[in-house]
Amino acid sequence: MLEQVHGSLWVVEGEIVSFFGIAYSTRSVIARLENGDLWVWSPVKLTAELRTEVDRLGSVRHLVSPNKLHHLYLQEWKAAYPDASLWGPQSTIKKRPDLAFREALTDSPPPEWIPDIDQAWFRGSFAMDEIVFLHRPSATVIVADLIQTFSDHFLREHWGFWRFLARLDGLTQDQACGRSAITFSGSIGDFGASWRASMASPRTKPVRRANGDCRL
């Protein structure tokens, strides 16, 4: 179930969920920090099998929502791991007032994971903001909806006739790698300026891999 992509980084595929009637895949990333704590990005449905594998890796201490759309399974993970902290941008915190989050995530990583993980806050869209992460040891960028891509196989199986919408939005595998979906970038007045401001950091470094079907 867990796919190890680096000595301290794993990816797991979750169930298909419906978003306004359209099927979307779910995926989580788990990093083992320098101190042994587990950092879980965008938790997927916690099955018994997945929990067994996660528990073998270490203690879950951080449950992270990168944007307000990635919140579906936070509650069940928090119930399973009550000592874990919940993290997310202010937009996620506002959407889930029933959950007790730590301080809102911005451009500066909290002390709990700064040795292992860097982050940048992409904002300026009237629709959504997102925290993008960089796993330092593997030089892996972890992106949620800022860059989306769907394989032709997935679109044929799950979107059927409506797969033309993915092409219109620039989400197909031959279009999406390395750039934002049109619905995301189009909701930002000056997307280029926002992107440059978010990435303008002395911490920025070249990356070797991006999470998802788009591998650099």
- pTM attached to this predicted model: 0.78
| Sheet strand arrangement including 140-142 | 117-122, 130-135, 140-142, 209-210
DSSP state of 156: I
What's the rounded Cα separation, in Å, for the pair 127 and 68? 10
> Domains in the chain: how many in total?
1
Q: How confident is the model at residue 26 (pLDDT cuts 50, 70, 90)?
A: confident
Q: Find where tokens 């944007």 sit.
A: 67
Report the pLDDT value the prediction gives residue 15, as an integer from 0 to 100.
78
Residue 129: inside a domain, yes or no? yes
The mean pLDDT of the chain is: 80
Residue 216: inside a domain, yes or no? no
Domain CATH code at residue 21: 3.60.15.10
pLDDT more than 70, % of the chain: 64
Q: How confident is the model at residue 124 (pLDDT cuts 50, 70, 90)?
A: confident
Residue 215: inside a domain, yes or no? no
Report the pLDDT value the prediction gives residue 187, as an integer from 0 to 100.
44
What's the rounded Cα separation, in Å, for the pair 212 and 29? 10
Question: Which residues span the domain enclosing 46?
Answer: 2-210
If one compares 87 and 205, the residue with the highest pLDDT of the two is: 87
What's the rounded Cα separation, in Å, for the pair 133 and 151? 23
